[in-house]
Amino acid sequence: MDDDIQIDSDEDLFRNPVYYEPAGRNLDLDRADLGIPHGEELLQVLLSMRGRVPVEKRGLICPDCRNLRGRRVPMYLVQRDGVWLASHYRKPGEKPISHESDEHLARKERVAKDSEDHGFSADIESPAADGHARLDVRINGANGIILGYEPQLSPETSGRMRSREGFRRRGGIRSVWDFADPDHMGIGTVPYVRTPNLPASVIRVQRNPIAVQDGNFVLEEGQCNQNGPLIRCPEKPYDPENPTDAGYCGRWHCVLVPAHLSSTHTGEGALTLTRFIVEAAAGERIPFQRGGHHGWLPARQWQRYLETNGIAPDDTERRPAVRQGDRRDRCTEDRPASEARSEPKQRRGSRAFVLETRPTESETVMVPVDASGQPIPLCRFGCGLPASLPGPEGLPEHYSCRRKQHP
């Protein structure tokens, strides 16, 4: 290989589209004939140019850089695991060519500027200390906290997200992955927030608030009844046949719940991305992992969380792998995933986690009984309170509960 080429690492290699100027068409590197007549001979010709013909004169260029940005960026061929890949040419010491979407760039610029306006220095495209990861935005927080802001607008597999997060965590980075797609495979797989899918022109205006729609959790605890702080029993499965049923079990729960689904959420004074980043950099928000699901928790509730959950062990070491994504559509970071690296899509919606459940003192000390000494059954509508009178169906119920269910 030529001495004046900066070879991309395995983590930076993609199946980029490649255009061959003499033929006036893209090459299909998955085919032995490259998708053109006499393609087998052409591949040998291109390989024979190594060390003899400058990369700029071999006729291989990036079609997206030419069509979308009016730039002629030469490309060269490399082989990994028997697969031919086209990589953008750059000289030793040069940074990889950035082909990020305008929305991706706008998010990085906005977060970096907001962080600096609040007293935390920030650098865009900063390498991690161990050199295994490149942070979209590195924020130097309080008390030695290094926060990495990573907007992820393109589809990615959950395994790949875990691998990328592992590099950052082992480098001492607290990552904030920002997703716009509510069904992205990374939601819950890594410490995340979810924000609206906004155009770059809106994101760049600092007075425009960017709402945090998910990823922010709170602790709620109390007795599970209609007068308690819990909206519904966290251990009772949701019944799609009766969506208004908010059954209660009467026990005491400590629950980790998404803030927008909590009993205290009113919609007013909503958490913004700027406030979240600043508080995370200040150590006022802590990342957690519960049952394989990641999120963020206010620092004032962290100690209570540790008492019931403990600290999750680090993931096992993962080897970096060549990205096998199909990069023929666009060479931007934000592109559809290929069949080669996509996983069956699942809805990644927010969910609550029960940290602790125990009987209440009233349950263990005193059980309501009727005049004959028999226990009084609980209301059939799930309010968690005893009901001594049967309803029309012969089951115990409260008149007020029936009116709520059957107005």
- Polymer length of the chain: 407
Q: What is the DSSP letter of 278?
A: H
CA distances 241 to 231, 237, 238, 244, Å, are 18, 12, 9, 9
The runs of H, that is alpha helices, within 310-384 are: 361-365
Per-residue pLDDT tens over the stretch 137-192: 999 999 999 999 999 988 888 888 998 898 899 889 999 999 999 999 999 999 99
**pLDDT band (50, 70, 90) for residue 132:** low
Longest dimension (CA), the chain: 102
The pLDDT value recorded for residue 392 is: 81
Top-confidence residue, 120 or 328: 120
Helices 273-281 and 102-117, axial angle in degrees (round to 10): 50
Q: Which of 371, 364, 122, 368 is nearest to 251 (CA)?
A: 364
Q: With 0-12 CB in 10 A as exposed, 13-18 as middle and 19+ as buried, what is 132? A: middle
Q: Which of 257, 259, 232 is nearest to 245 (CA)?
A: 232
**pLDDT band (50, 70, 90) for residue 92:** low
pTM exceeding the 0.75 threshold for the entire prediction: no
Top-confidence residue, 93 or 127: 127
**pLDDT band (50, 70, 90) for residue 195:** very high
Q: Contact 290/350 with Cβ under 8 angstroms?
A: no
Per-residue pLDDT tens over the stretch 197-228: 998 889 989 889 999 999 999 998 888 887 77
The pLDDT value recorded for residue 1 is: 45
Cα-Cα-Cα-Cα dihedral sign, residues 129, 130, 131, 133: negative
- Tell me which residue has tokens 């008149």: 399
Give SS3 for 66.
Answer: helix
Per-residue pLDDT tens over the stretch 244-288: 666 788 888 888 888 888 877 766 668 999 999 999 999 999 999
Per-residue pLDDT tens over the stretch 302-345: 988 888 776 655 444 444 444 444 444 445 444 444 443 444 44
Helix count (H) and strand count (E) of the chain? 9, 15
Statement: residue 123 has pLDDT above 60: yes
Gap between the Cα atoms of 139 and 120, Å rounded: 6
Per-residue pLDDT tens over the stretch 34-89: 888 888 888 889 888 888 888 888 899 888 777 766 778 888 888 877 788 888 88
**pLDDT band (50, 70, 90) for residue 93:** low
The pLDDT value recorded for residue 253 is: 87
Interval 98-104 mean pLDDT: 72
User: Vertex 312, ends 306 and 316: CA angle to 5°?
Assistant: 165
Residue 289 amino acid letter: Q
Q: What is the DSSP track for 205-242? A: -TTS--B--BSBEEEEEEE-STTSS-SS-TTSPP-TTS
Mean pLDDT of the chain: 79
The pLDDT value recorded for residue 328 is: 45
Residue 177 amino acid letter: W
Write b or e for each residue in 81-103: b if 16 or more Cβ atoms lie within 10 A of its Cβ, otherwise e.
eeebbbbbbbeeeeeeeebbbeb
Helix (H) or strand (E) holding 280: helix 273-281
The pLDDT value recorded for residue 382 is: 75
**pLDDT band (50, 70, 90) for residue 229:** confident
The pLDDT value recorded for residue 267 is: 67
Gap between the Cα atoms of 312 and 292, Å rounded: 9
Write b or e for each residue in 356-368: b if 16 or more Cβ atoms lie within 10 A of its Cβ, otherwise e.
eeeebeeeeeeee
